[in-house]
């Protein structure tokens, strides 16, 4: 299993971003993350029971089924609007903006994305997505090691668009895992192609660690749509027409060349015949001159 020191998460990058920008969030997060050492060490004075938002200067949203409700969204809305009256900026920051996720009952549930969209619509303010699939996420990771390159990193995730697609925008390879949000159709997606597809995170991390070699992932070609089938047939028909025209042109060209050749041969024969006639006439003139000279003698 890959050591924790080599794993970089969206939440860790977002928390680091808050610290660097002196932001104290109204955090709509999962209780487990709020109580984690990662969060408490970054915000030792944070009190999740404090109902006063006087010291808050940003809104932080993550995957938090218990926290993302009308009461808390309205609280975040009021914080942004009250500070806006006083010409104070209140960034709305998201760890990620996934539209849905696979819940504990193996069914899909709403992710933070729709709640984030509601808040940004109501406040008429754009959100800053620090986590995936934002390019800021990958830029922040590489800033931690200035000498590193995109090929030094690998994104492992179950979200084809957010994880693999987001990584591709920053030239980072993505390994798609067949868990959570993974859908069967992801492996035949035409726009986003992962470097590898693994059954789970453990296998993917073993491969990243260099402890396991994975066979090349077969990416099956998706079936053509009726429209694509029709276009393919039309293209083949056009190719046939072009080929037929080309053959016709070639045959016509050969016929023209043969006719020209015959005409040239006929012209040459005529010239030879004329030359022969001229030579005969010259010979006749010479013979006549000889006869005239004899008579004179």
Per-residue pLDDT tens over the stretch 241-261: 766 666 666 666 666 676 766
pTM of the model: 0.59
Report residue 66: phi and psi, to 5°: -80, -30
Closest CA to 60 of 82, 29, 88: 29
CA 129/CA 222 separation, integer angstroms: 32
For residues 7 and 200, give the distance between their C-alpha atoms in angstroms, rounded to a whole number: 16
pLDDT at residue 219, as a whole number? 47
Cis peptide before 196 (omega within 30 of 0): no
R_g of the chain, CA atoms, integer Å: 40
Q: Which residues of the chain have pLDDT under 50?
A: 218-221
Look at residue 294 in the predicted model and tell me its pLDDT: 59
């Amino acid at each position: 299993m890959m050591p924790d020191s080599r794993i970089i998460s969206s939440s860790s990058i977002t928390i680091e971003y808050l610290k660097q920008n002196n932001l104290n969030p109204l955090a709509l997060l999962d209780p487990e993350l709020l109580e984690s050492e990662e969060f408490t060490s970054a915000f030792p004075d944070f009190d999740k029971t404090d109902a006063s938002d006087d010291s808050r200067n940003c809104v932080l949203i993550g995957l938090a089924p218990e926290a993302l409700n009308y009461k808390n969204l309205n609280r975040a809305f009021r914080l942004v609007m009250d500070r806006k009256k006083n010409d104070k900026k209140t960034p709305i920051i998201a760890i990620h903006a996934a539209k849905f996720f696979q819940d504990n009952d193996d069914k899909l549930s709403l992710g933070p994305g729709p709640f984030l969209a509601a808040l940004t619509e109501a406040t008429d303010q754009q959100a800053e997505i620090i986590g995936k699939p934002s390019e800021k996420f990958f830029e922040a990771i590489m800033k931690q090691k200035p000498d590193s390159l995109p090929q030094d990193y690998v994104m492992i995730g179950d979200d084809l668009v957010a994880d693999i697609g987001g990584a591709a925008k920053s030239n980072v390879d993505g390994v798609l895992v067949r868990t959570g949000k993974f859908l069967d159709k992801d492996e035949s997606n035409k726009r986003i192609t992962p470097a590898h597809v693994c059954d789970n995170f453990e296998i993917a991390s073993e491969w990243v660690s260099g402890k396991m070699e994975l066979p090349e992932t077969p990416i099956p070609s998706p079936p053509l749509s009726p429209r694509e089938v029709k276009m393919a047939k039309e293209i083949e028909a056009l190719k046939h027409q072009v080929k037929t025209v080309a053959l016709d042109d070639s045959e016509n060209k050969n016929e023209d060349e043969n006719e020209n050749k015959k005409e040239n041969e006929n012209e040459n024969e005529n010239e030879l015949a004329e030359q022969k006639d001229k030579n005969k006439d010259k010979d006749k003139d010479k013979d006549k001159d000889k006869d005239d000279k004899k008579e004179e003698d």
